[in-house]
Amino acid sequence: MIRLNNISKQFGSLTAVDGISLTVNKGEIFGLVGPDGAGKTTTIRMITGLLDPSGGTLTLLGSQAPETVKGRLGYVPQKFSLYGDLTVMENIRVIGSLYGASSARVTELAREILTFTNLLPFQDRLADNLSGGMKQKLALAAGLMHKPDVFFLDEPTTGVDPVSRREFWQMLYRLNKEGMTVFVSTPYMDEAELCSRVAFMHHGRIISCDSPAALKTAYPFKVLELQAEGKKIKQHLEHCPLRDINAFGGKYHLITDDPAAAAAAVRSALGAAEIPVLALKEIRPTLEDVFVALASEVI
């Protein structure tokens, strides 16, 4: 359905996307994950025809000319781009009319989609007066007005509260179950876990691409989860047999080759520093552990 072969994009002397290749299959929820500046937005804009690649070939829905299949694509950009001085319903009707639907059909689709996104009770509210989560639902609704085959979403839940994020993803899952292919970029690892497959992008390149389960299975190290009372924990663990130490909220993930030896060394080091260990156990790696390791390899 989507095939990129050695696609690149330069802006002057800056290489934003550096020869990436990937394939997205029909019916997938495909996640493009990476830090800010990795090239995710540029990649989506090239696939959707908003930017021309500097090199490589791109096939979308069987065509190498995105312009010819734009009517089958839906797109929610990173920044809210609808009309703040129009109501929810007015925005939806404008988008529907741009696709050439009749007034009666626009009204029918608008009510259907606003019901699906739980926005129908707010149809008369100005877009500027919506919360961040509701604005993203409105952007989602607008992108669905022409029933696209492939739906692109560029970091759609950035800055949205956790409840709205969960509701947004529940809607994406419903759309996917109905047959829609979803291509979403996200900086959130919990959202990456919800994808069929994930490509990790860093410095304009695809570093790894597989299902979340396969990526975690291929992780070559062991992870200890540490919870301890005290500050500057890392400096007390400098001489322990650890590859890396990463903070996760109030806990730490300790990356090691030998969890038993590492656990003993950590307890000894923190004991000598009179820092109580509240919990220390081996856990399965998370996608964040995987991507931190991948990023470290290419820095």
CATH for 114: 3.40.50.300
Q: Are residues 57 and 112 in the same domain?
A: yes
Higher pLDDT, 201 or 294: 201
Q: Which domain holds residue 103?
A: 2-215
**Section 115-124 average pLDDT:** 91
At residue 265 the predicted structure's pLDDT band, cuts being 50, 70 and 90, is very high
Q: Is the pLDDT of residue 167 over 50?
A: yes
**What are the CA-CA distances from residue 182 to residues 52, 131, 149, 245 (Å)?**
22, 24, 9, 34
| Percent of the residues in the chain that have a pLDDT greater than 90, as a whole number | 65
Predicted pLDDT at 104: 86
**Section 192-216 average pLDDT:** 95
Long-range contact set of residues 233-240: C-beta below 8 Å, sequence gap at least 24: 233/270, 233/275, 236/269, 236/270, 236/272, 236/273, 236/275, 237/266, 237/269, 237/270, 239/265, 239/269, 240/265, 240/266, 240/269
Q: Are residues 51 and 129 in the same domain?
A: yes
| Rounded Cα distance, 173 and 216, in Å | 22
Indicate the number of domains in the chain. 2
Q: Are residues 260 and 203 in the same domain?
A: no
**Section 62-69 average pLDDT:** 86
Q: Are residues 19 and 166 in the same domain?
A: yes
CATH of the domain at 269: 3.30.70.980
Q: Are residues 276 and 250 in the same domain?
A: yes
Q: What is the largest CA-CA distance in the chain?
A: 76
**pTM score of the predicted model:** 0.88
Q: Are residues 92 and 211 in the same domain?
A: yes
Mention every residue, 6+ apart, whose C-beta is less than 8 A from residue 216: 284, 285, 286, 287, 290
Q: Are residues 225 and 135 in the same domain?
A: no
**What are the CA-CA distances from residue 191 to residues 31, 101, 112, 172, 287 (Å)?**
8, 34, 26, 11, 10
Q: Are residues 77 and 90 in the same domain?
A: yes
Domain ends where: 215, 246, 275? Answer: 215
Q: Are residues 188 and 248 in the same domain?
A: no
Least confident of 150-154, 165-169, 206-210, 273-277: 165-169
Q: Are residues 169 and 225 in the same domain?
A: no
Domain ends where: 149, 183, 215? Answer: 215
Give me the sheet containing 181-186, strands edge to edge. 73-76, 150-154, 181-186, 29-33, 197-202, 205-210
Q: Are residues 230 and 149 in the same domain?
A: no
Average pLDDT, the chain: 91
**Section 87-103 average pLDDT:** 85
For residues 185 and 44, the answer to whether their CB atoms sit within 8 Å is yes
| Rounded Cα distance, 212 and 288, in Å | 11
The bridge status of strand 222-228 relative to strand 73-76 is unpaired
Higher pLDDT, 295 or 19: 19
Domain ends where: 184, 215, 246? Answer: 215
Q: Are residues 83 and 192 in the same domain?
A: yes
At residue 250 the predicted structure's pLDDT band, cuts being 50, 70 and 90, is confident
Q: Is the pLDDT of residue 200 over 90?
A: yes
Tell me the three-class secondary structure of the chain, residue by residue: CEEEEEEEEEECCEEEEEEEEEEECCCCEEEEECCCCCCHHHHHHHHCCCCCCCEEEEEECCECCHHHHHHHEEEECCCCCCCCCCEHHHHHHHHHHHCCCCHHHHHHHHHHHHHHCCCHHHCCCEHHHCCHHHHHHHHHHHHCCCCCCEEEEECCCCCCCHHHHHHHHHHHHHHHHCCCEEEEEECCHHHHCCCCEEEEEECCEEEEEECHHHHHHCCCCEEEEEEECCCCHHHHCCCCCCCEEEEECCEEEEEECCHHHHHHHHHHHHHHCCCCEEEEEEECCCHHHHHHHHHHHHC
